[in-house]
Structure 1
Amino acid sequence: MTDQELVERAFAMHQFSYAPYSRFPVGAALLCEDGTVFTGCNVENAAFGSAICAERTALLKAVSEGHRDDWTTLAIAGRGQDYCWPCGSCRQMLYEFAPDLRVLAARGDGTFQEALLSELLPCGFGPKSLA
């Protein structure tokens, strides 16, 4: 799967987003080594702390289906003018499983930028930190 196709899969998840408060739908698509793609969208809640981001939705789907150590690339797509990078909570959750994950951050016009998760969360805290 190309990076462009993965970004398009993330954009396709906007249709399932539940964002009545922010009105900012976000979609994510997480690619595994075997070609499996787990998608997600943001789901907001009136108790704002209970909301979940699109990338954590995709992460939880992957983990719950046995994919924990084979992630290669994550695409995140928002509708805004800025690139849609993962928030701090998402960076921490992703780091637990894939510190060197490639992250593609797309903005509303479909263009995207790439960075490694380890660049987005330098000196991250993960399982090896507990050893």
Structure 2
Amino acid sequence: MAPKDEEREFSIHTGEIPLFGSVDYAMFVITLLISCGIGLFYAIVDRKKNTTKDFLLGGQNMHPVPVALSLMVTFMSAMTLLGNPAEIYNYHTMWWWLCVSMVIAMWMVSQIFVPFFYRLQNESVFEVSPCELS
């Protein structure tokens, strides 16, 4: 029978650092194998696509859902997921102001910057020359 939370000794009380067990290692290996499998699959299927446009922009024919998910995952890193509870604990409601400003910033980026750079048909923002901006 597993101990209840009140009875469980946490590392902050005991000073012992919990280590990976066999189930933890198995899940870690499975996660890495799935990631490698996805990479190998697309390396084999898309081996004929050798242009920079196909590599960096996906041929510009991707559905918006995977693009949005990719951007979300890029934005939501593991540090964000681990750090948000600590920020809320330390700074209480001040954290909500950051959330409000992020929503405003994302709206501005989606309405102003993304359409602008998409119309330029560049593969990176570093390719923009001053003549194209005017």
**Which structure would you say has the larger Rg?**
2
Structure with greater helix percent: 2
Higher relative contact order (CA 8 A, sep 6+): 1
Structure with greater strand percent: 1
The TM-score, its normalising length taken from structure 2, stands at 0.25
